[in-house]
Amino acid sequence: MPVGPDAARWVTRRSRRTVLVIVHTVTSGQRLLDVVGLLAADLRVQVVFTIGPDVFSNGVAELLRRIGGVTLPWHLAVREQFDLAICAAYGGIENIHAPLVVIPHGAGYNKLVSRRLDGGAVAARGVYGLSAQELVRDGTVVPSAIVLAHDAERGRLARSCPEAVAVAEVVGDASHDRLVASSCERRAYRRALRVRDEHELVAVTSTWGPGSLFGRHPGLLRRMLTELPRDRYRIAALLHPNIWFGHGIWQIRTWLADCLRYELALVPPEADWRGVLVAADHVVGDHGSAAVYGTVCGASVLLVGDAGDDVDPESAGGLLASTAPRLRLDQPLPAQLRWAAAHHHPGRHARVVARLTSAPGRFDRNMRRLMYRLMRLPQPLTVPRADPVPAPYLIGVSGHVAFKGRR
C-alpha cells in the first residue's frame, strides 16, 4: 500500500500528494473515473481507492479490480490522512480525514428522496445531494467543496441547506462534455452495437426502483422486439447498474434471455453507457438521468410513465418530464416512433440541455483547478479536454460479452 506509516519503505516513488477516491456504487465509480482521469499523468499524485458503505456496493470491488486501482479497506481509509478525497455519494463521508469534494453522480441533482429510520416518521423530501441530511453532520458541513453543474443549483442549495452555499462550486457536467466530444464517433458506436446505416436505434433506458421503466413495464423490451419491424429498428437496453447489482447479473441475464434471442442489444453495467446515447435515433426512458443525457445527443426522447414526486421540477430531469412526449403503451409502437421522428428536430430539447450545465465544455478545466487548489499544488501546464467515450459492448445470448468494440 502506498499509504500508511511504513509506506515509504516499500514504494518506488514518493508522491507529494495522496488522493482518496471513495466509490460507493458502480454508478458513482463510473462518474468518479472521469474526475480522477484529470490526475492520471501527474507523477506528484498517488491515487488510491476505497469502497464506501452503501446498500448497492455490490460490483464495486470488480470495478476497482478491472481498472487496477490500489484499494484501501474502508476501516483503514477512515484512519488515514489524505491530501484530498473525492466521492459521488454520502455514506460514511463524515469519517474521512481529508479535504472532501462531492460531485453529483447523475444529471445534476434531480431526485427527491426521504430517509426512513427503523419505522419512524418520514422526514420531508429533499433533493438528494442538496439537502442537509447528506451534507451536514453534527451541525458541520462535511464536504470542503460541493460540485454543482449549473448556476441554478446554487439557489436550490441555498433553500435546502444554506450553510453549504459557501463551499459550493459551479464546475459543469463531465458527461455532457464527453457526449458532445463523442459525437464524431457516432458511426463507430453504431458499428459496435451492430446497427446498420439503414436502421434506427432505439435506446431503452431505465433507472432503478419500483417506479422505474423496468420496474413497472418489464415486458416493454420484448414487445418492442416483436412489434417494431426488424428491417427498420434495432433495440438497445441501458439498465441502471443498481438493477444489475441489486438483483444480480445472472438474474438479469436470465430474465432477458428471450430478448437476447430476439437480438436485443443488452449493454452490461461495466460498459460505458454514453456511447449508446450518441448512437441512438430514439431514446425511450423514464425519469432517470440517462434519458436526460439523451437530449444532448440530438435523439428524439419519449418518456414512459410519470416521474410523480421522484424528480425535482427545477432540475433538468424535471424540465424534461414536463416537456417530453409520452410513449402510450395502449397504442401501436411503430406509429409512435414514426411520429417522434417526424416531429423531432435537433434543438427540440435545447432548454433541457441548457439546464444540465452552465459551464459547457469546461468541466475538466474547472474540476482540475478545484482539486489542485484543495491539494495546494500547482496545476500541470497541459490544458485538459474532454475525450470521446469508449465504444460500448454487448452481452450475447449465452450471457457472455458478445462483442467488444474498438475506437
What is residue 120's predicted lDDT score, i.e. its pLDDT?
60
What is residue 312's predicted lDDT score, i.e. its pLDDT?
87
pLDDT in tens, 290-332: 999 999 999 999 999 876 678 888 899 999 999 999 999 999 9
Domain-embedded: residue 235: yes
Amino acid at 19: V
- Torsion angles phi and psi, residue 224, rounded to 5: -60, -45
Please check whether residues 147 and 287 belong to one and the same domain.
no
Place 150 in a pLDDT band, splitting at 50, 70 and 90: very high
- Give the H/E segment covering residue 33: helix 26-36
**Distance set, CA 5 to CA 1, 10, 100 (Å):** 10, 11, 22
By CB atoms closer than 10 A (0-12, 13-18, 19+), residue 133 is middle
pLDDT in tens, 65-100: 999 999 999 999 999 999 999 999 999 999 999 999
Whether pLDDT at 117 is above 60: no
Domain-embedded: residue 13: yes
What is residue 403's predicted lDDT score, i.e. its pLDDT?
54
pTM here is 0.92
Rounded Cα distance between 45 and 19, Å, is 7
What is residue 307's predicted lDDT score, i.e. its pLDDT?
66
Please check whether residues 119 and 100 belong to one and the same domain.
yes
Domain-embedded: residue 233: yes
- CATH number at 92 reads 3.40.50
Domain-embedded: residue 391: no
Rounded Cα distance between 157 and 311, Å, is 15
Higher pLDDT, 403 or 334: 334
Please check whether residues 255 and 150 belong to one and the same domain.
no
Please check whether residues 230 and 335 belong to one and the same domain.
yes
Please check whether residues 203 and 327 belong to one and the same domain.
yes
What is residue 127's predicted lDDT score, i.e. its pLDDT?
86
Place 407 in a pLDDT band, splitting at 50, 70 and 90: very low
Rounded Cα distance between 131 and 157, Å, is 7
What is residue 12's predicted lDDT score, i.e. its pLDDT?
66
Please check whether residues 193 and 211 belong to one and the same domain.
yes
Domain-embedded: residue 169: yes
Please check whether residues 150 and 208 belong to one and the same domain.
no
- CATH number at 260 reads 3.40.50.2000
Lowest mean pLDDT among 112-116, 247-251, 362-366: 112-116
Count up the domains in the chain and report the number: 2
Please check whether residues 107 and 218 belong to one and the same domain.
no
- Domain enclosing residue 133, as ranges: 7-175+359-375
